[in-house]
């Protein structure tokens, strides 16, 4: 399922959109946007799936995106979706279960649609 916003995720799961993201003011300023973006992406991913991934089920495919953070001629912004990978037989530590999807299409959509949130999560502002 393609969830486009936190509001859609809240509507699907019955969460209160006004309170589901905690107040980040107690954290260092440079980490606030990353923590808020991580919370949003986790909730959007959760609402996008029909069920949580089962890492003990080697037949269940799990898809996630790989981000390219290096500035070069192919990536002048320094942040883009590099590719989507599928993992089914192992609990690959780089993947984690919070940001994996049930299909290649869902993973590509979400990692592209929510690229600014991914960037906020992964890049420390200067």
Domain count, the chain: 1
- Residue 1 included in any domain: no
Does the pLDDT of residue 123 top 70, yes or no? yes
Read off the pLDDT of residues 67-111 as tens digits, 9 standing for 90 and up.
777 777 766 667 767 767 776 555 454 556 788 888 889 988 988
Range of 95's domain?
Answer: 6-122
Read off the pLDDT of residues 21-72 as tens digits, 9 standing for 90 and up.
999 999 999 999 999 999 999 999 999 999 988 877 878 888 887 777 777 7
Q: What pTM does this model have?
A: 0.82
Contacts for 90-95: CB closer than 8 Å, 24+ residues apart: 90/58, 91/55, 95/62, 95/64
Residue 6: half-sphere exposure toward Cβ, Cα within 13 Å:
15
């Amino acid at each position: 399922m393609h969830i486009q916003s936190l509001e859609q995720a809240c509507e699907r799961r019955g969460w209160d959109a006004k309170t589901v993201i905690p107040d980040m003011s107690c954290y260092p300023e440079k980490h606030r946007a990353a923590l808020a973006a991580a919370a949003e992406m986790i909730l959007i991913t959760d609402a996008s799936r029909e069920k949580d991934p089962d890492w003990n089920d080697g037949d269940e495919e799990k898809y996630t995106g790989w981000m390219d953070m290096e500035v070069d001629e192919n990536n002048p912004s320094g942040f883009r979706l590099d590719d989507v990978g599928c993992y089914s037989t192992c609990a690959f530590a780089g993947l984690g279960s919070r940001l994996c999807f049930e299909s290649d299409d869902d993973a590509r959509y979400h990692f592209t649609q929510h690229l600014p949130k991914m960037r906020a999560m992964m890049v420390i502002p200067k």
